[in-house]
Amino acid sequence: MRVEGTVALVTGGASGLGAATVRELLGAGGRAMILDRPQSDGAALARELGRDAAFAGADVTSDAEVAAAVEQTIERFGAVHINVNCAGTGAAMKTTSKAGPMPLEIFAKVIEINLIGTFNVLRLCAARMAKNAPTRDGERGVIINTASVAAFDGQIGQAAYSASKGSVVAMTLPIARDLATLGIRVCTIAPGTFDTPMLALLPDTQRQALAAQIPFPPRLGQPREFAALARHIVENAMLNGETIRLDGALRMPPR
């Protein structure tokens, strides 16, 4: 599917991987709805990018709010062809420790945002994509989810995060199969250690230590590299039902 002329809905689109993806798709001639929390910088980013971008404040776990954001996208741009899901959260906590077991609500919240939120958005986008006129190759839409290398190499304290991202990986193929007859492809990107706003909060020494773990290139990944892969997935019709690690050959140690 050519990006030019398409419309994307990007969750977590106000910053980090999501914002880079919005910029990449607009640069290729697409338009984008930035879906992020109401208190995010999404509105400011949309103003900066101009008429080809808009902002919808929504909680990805809310049926009603996401449905309204999808309708807002249709009203503004006429369709939804691409859905990139970058919204997510994390929690670093051992299953049990001297303080006692991990509070169940912390585990549940990570699952709710990373897994249920991703499925909530993609199911609603897929329902609208199914109404698109097919391209010459029969494509009606492309969905790209974000997992993590923690889905495969979860570290100490990452039980909740790894479970949520592992589940995103696990549902990629069955959803791709579900949507195949509609001409909608589904892929997942599993990034390694990327230079995002969350990582920017760490001291420089910790950032350097994380970068040193990556075999090559020995640096943190850049959001533009995630965005470039997302664009390639959109444009390469044979990529479907696959999870792609984007990590510089990183394999995470236990801690």
Q: Which amino acids are annotated catalytic?
A: 161
Token pair recorded at residue 196: 């995002």
Measured CA to CA, the distance from residue 85 to residue 123 in angstroms comes to 12
Residues 6+ apart with CB under 8 A from 234: 1, 3, 6, 25, 82, 142, 144
Give the integer Cα–Cα distance in Å for 89 and 146.
12
DSSP 8-state assignment for residue 180: G
Question: CB neighbours of 186 closer than 8 A, spacing ≥ 6?
Answer: 122, 142, 143, 144, 145, 172, 175, 176, 179, 240, 241
Helix (H, G, I), strand (E, B) or coil at 108: helix
- CA-to-CA separations, 148 to 42, 69, 165, 192, in angstroms, rounded: 23, 26, 6, 6
Residues 68, 75: Cα–Cα separation, whole Å: 10
Check if the beta carbon of residue 6 is closer than 8 Å to that of residue 82: yes
Q: 244 - beta bridge partners?
A: 189
